[in-house]
Amino acid sequence: MAEQVNNKQIVFKDYVNGFPKESDMLLKTSNTISLKLPHGSNGVLVKNLYLSCDPYMRTRMSKTEHGYIDSFTPGSLIVGLGVAKVLDSGNSNFEKGDLVWGVTGWEEYSVINAPEALNKIQHTDVPLSYYTGILGMPGVTAYVGFYEICAPKKGEYVFVSAASGAVGQLVGQFAKLCGCYVVGSSGTQEKVDLLKNKLGFDAAFNYKKEQDLDAALKRYFPNGIDIYFENVGGEMLEAVLLNMRFNGRIAACGMISQYNDQGDGVSNLFHIVTKSVRMQGFLAYHYDHLYPKYFDMVLPLIKNGTINYIEDIAEGLESAPTALVGLFSGKNVGKQVVVLARE
Amino acid sequence: MAEQVNNKQIVFKDYVNGFPKESDMLLKTSNTISLKLPHGSNGVLVKNLYLSCDPYMRTRMSKTEHGYIDSFTPGSLIVGLGVAKVLDSGNSNFEKGDLVWGVTGWEEYSVINAPEALNKIQHTDVPLSYYTGILGMPGVTAYVGFYEICAPKKGEYVFVSAASGAVGQLVGQFAKLCGCYVVGSSGTQEKVDLLKNKLGFDAAFNYKKEQDLDAALKRYFPNGIDIYFENVGGEMLEAVLLNMRFNGRIAACGMISQYNDQGDGVSNLFHIVTKSVRMQGFLAYHYDHLYPKYFDMVLPLIKNGTINYIEDIAEGLESAPTALVGLFSGKNVGKQVVVLARE
């Protein structure tokens, strides 16, 4: 008889309107799980190490269909990206002790029945948590959005909103690697300081301290903006549209202000016509084929210190709901991760 | 002493807020002009035959800068595109009797000091007025916007707003040539009938008769929209965003609803992200180099009757202000032209 252990879980309670709250999730402590897979399983049993908190997860908390990802089921486990260690495997591609990243459950141990979708981690001389961030989905998102969608040229003017977040901090650093001038916006002085002092942005500002976003952008971009990496939507997008240059590009990565509250519509769209702006939405998972190319580019840059990556690591599964909810009020400083175990 | 003739003109009175009115323009009958160029002129003297009424002209009536075209000067002549005949030339590229199209004045006779920008008309076996429409700027606009910006594929679902207008009627016909399914929206039953019976659209509807544009689009596009040729902005764009398919493309050609009244902002932009939509603004005059290619494609299609082109021709310079103003309430049926003289 295999060992049975307790398996704490975070359960999704019910569909959310507006901003998610911690009470929309529930810590369930009564579950147990066997640490051996049943005979004949083709899956893997993993111990979850790091869980990723990502803004797209808000979409899954609504009943409304955005068409690209299913809603969570009320009463069932929350799932998301994470890093895990294989404890038992019925699949020939995985063996005990392998480290993997991919979709897993918000729980201590998970059985993953279709492990083909997991990525085996080969490089462990970087923090494992990076596979939820710079070496995971947010990393590819920044790479695809900036290099593929925005097609940057040296000397161009780049603006990044939510600039200290999981994706934005990378876009700014990629822009500097391309010889662009890059400004970031963020919501606290601490983050602004990080952008300027640790992440290499040419300038940064706290959007909450600006009465007039248009005026702020005109101050930082007297010649206008060539590339806008769009993470927030709403009023910031409106102000950016007023400041775009001819043939400008907007990578629409997320619109965090609009996940919870559709809010007022976006004015100034006519500037898309008059300035021949291209606004392109994208989802990183359609660009999985570029991951190896990205990985090969970014790994040496991490190792030699060219690229920094700031993480905000919450301790313990209990802290996961607070960490996720905090994304939507900008409580996180850098990529929000939850650590369950370090090995 | 050269002959002096009367030269009626349409003068722009003052900057316009909201919808333009006929009274924003003034018919001035007191001018005279010599029908000989002064000695040493490098310009041409033309007799204006057809004047083009185009929505972009509204932009020039505002003091606000959209950055891509200058405002008209209060008290001065209105200028726009047109077809004209050369009466006298000081330029070796033009001679008396040449027919030309390009920027001219809203007056009977014009002196054009930089005639290099004029296009000489070589083919006169089509209506001359076509050089304000299908063989002029609106034609290139439809061509560039559809073929270059939207990159259509056979079998795709195409929606065109302002579909019977100067540009829209061509986009619909180009879409059919590409093997697409195409639906147009328009503002009267007469226009809807033209779309279906004369312009070959698969279906058409009167947007003014629809309570719910989203529901209307779902009726005509149960599988969603691959390509939206955007001529109107506002509520129609909002409804379209709800119905775009994955990897959809929006050519933002004009937003006629927003020339006069910025109105409410546009909601549903988040769908650009979740459906990986590309929305691209463009201005035809940046694609002048494609004109010869377009002309060679479309001229035979006109001559063999494959493509139809509907014009709404107002008689006489006096009618020009009414004709221009009418664009913004959809009074025109097809391309709005003003004829001053037929030869």
Contacts of B270 in chain A (CB under 8 A): 66, 233, 255, 258-259, 262
Let me know: does B257 contact B263? Beta carbons within 8 Å: yes
Let me know: does A61 contact A24? Beta carbons within 8 Å: yes
pLDDT block averages, 10 residues each, chain A of length 343: 88 94 96 94 97 93 76 95 97 97 98 95 97 97 96 98 96 98 97 98 98 97 97 90 96 72 76 93 91 97 97 98 96 97 94
User: Rounded to an integer, what distance in angstroms lies between the CA atom of residue B148 and that of residue A140?
Assistant: 28
Interface residue ranges in chain B relative to chain A, Cβ cutoff 8 Å: 59, 66-68, 233, 237-238, 246, 252-255, 258-259, 262, 264-283, 286
User: Rounded to an integer, what distance in angstroms lies between the CA atom of residue B291 and that of residue B296?
Assistant: 9
Per-residue pLDDT tens digits for B143-158: 999 999 999 999 999 9
Identity of residue B198: K
Q: Name all domains of chain A by residue range, CATH numbers in brackets.
A: 4-133+310-339 (3.90.180.10), 137-285 (3.40.50.720)
Interface residue ranges in chain A relative to chain B, Cβ cutoff 8 Å: 59, 66-68, 233, 237-238, 246, 252-255, 258-259, 262, 264-283, 286
Which residues are within 8 A (CB) of A35 and not within 5 positions of it... i.e. 6 or more apart? A2, A3, A4, A5, A45, A87, A88, A109
- A232: nearest CA partner in chain B: B270
**pLDDT grade, residue B88 (50/70/90)?**
very high
Tokens for A127, please give them: 């923090």
Locate all alpha helices (DSSP H) within chain A, ordered by sequence: 57-60, 137-143, 168-177, 189-197, 213-220, 234-243, 256-259, 270-274, 291-303, 320-326
- Read off the pTM: 0.92
Report which secondary-structure segment, H or E, holds B258: none
Tell me the shortest Cα–Cα distance from B106 to chain A, in angstroms. 24
Partner-chain contact A281 B276, CB within 8 Å: yes
pLDDT recorded at residue A256: 63
**pLDDT grade, residue B7 (50/70/90)?**
very high
Partner-chain contact A255 B233, CB within 8 Å: no
Tokens for A55, please give them: 């803004």
- B259: nearest CA partner in chain A: A270
Selection from B141, A262, A233 nearest residue A241 by Cα: A233
Per-residue pLDDT tens digits for B244-265: 999 999 999 876 666 665 566 8
Let me know: does B45 contact B86? Beta carbons within 8 Å: yes
- DSSP labels, A56-83: THHHHTSSS--SSSPPPPTTSB-EEEEE
Q: Between the CA of residue A10 and those of A32, A109, A133, A283, B150, what are the distances in Å?
A: 14, 12, 21, 26, 45
